Amino acid sequence: MASPSFTAPGILLVDKSPGLTSHDVVSRLRRILSTRRVGHAGTLDPMATGLLVMGINGATRLLTFFVGLDKTYTATIRLGESTTTDDAEGETLGRAPSEQLARVADTDIESAVATLTGEIMQVPSSVSAIKVGGKRAYARVREGETVALEPRPVTVSRFDITGIHRTDDGIDVDVVVDCSSGTYIRALARDLGFRLGVGGHLTALRRTRVGPFDIAEALVLDDSLEAGEATARTTFALRDPADVAARIFATWKLTAEEADHLRHGRATALATPGEGRYAAISAEGRLIGLVDASASGVRILFNMSQESP
């Protein structure tokens, strides 16, 4: 099967495999779908697996509005060892003696987790993608610099322990975390170990939800597929921008005249549907754009390119 010369704009939910970077997924989709216009809303480290929200062609413009959505992760935290990256890919900074670990009771772990739940101030991991002086923090760390990031407010609405396993190497704590955008699970692992006085780092991470989108809806990019079959499966899995936007925002059904005004940027000609952010959708069911509506009128956030095959 030949690759199509045109792929309609859409959103693709991908279940990232371990070892791949988020950019690896972008590159693979560019090849499969024969387009350069591929982006993602929120990276995952190579060690991590799970949900990536990808934008294809004109739908890449929607991704900006997905970045702030809350997320769910499952993770395993190893207590008893701290690392330079706060995860298993870093070098060991220190290990707690076995007798010290033996004194950490399950109830101690539960109490420490409770202190990291709710609205908290979190210092991001020094190997995060946060920019310091115009350069990513992880790049500065790789160059041998010591990076100290400022604490920032985040919300951890759920931090549940699903299992505690004591091994020769430490204590493995399986958790589920619901959190606001910008929360670092590696930093939760580091801080949990710090509160218990034994050190800690992340050994496994899987993102299972981004806003209303669940990992069960995601496509696994299978390396074993022939090029044509990979293209067909991926194209079939693309989600219409209007359907996706309607899961995040209130919808505003436009008349043909209103749709024409919005396409041409004539916001002053539009009647306010009520205050709030809206996905403006034509009578034919196509996403025309996103708008902010207030008592003073309508502000266009962006207009969707009306691409068609």
Residues labelled catalytic:
45
- CA distance from start to end of the chain: 18
In whole angstroms, what is the distance from residue 205 CA to residue 153 CA? Answer: 22
What are the E-state strand segments in the chain?
Answer: 10-16, 38-40, 49-56, 71-79, 81-83, 92-95, 118-122, 131-132, 135-136, 152-166, 171-179, 200-210, 213-214, 250-253, 276-281, 287-294, 297-303
Coil, strand or helix at 26: helix
HEC profile for 93-156?
EEECCHHHHHCCCHHHHHHHHHHCCEEEEECCCCCCCCEECCEEHHHHHHCCCCCCCCCEEEEE
Mind giving me the DSSP string for 272-291?
P-SSEEEEEE-TTS-EEEEE
Please check whether residue 192 is in contact with residue 199, taking contact to mean a CB–CB distance below 8 angstroms: no
Please check whether residue 177 is in contact with residue 205, taking contact to mean a CB–CB distance below 8 angstroms: no
Question: With the C-alpha atoms ordered 21, 88, 121, 114, is the resulting torsion angle positive or negative?
Answer: positive
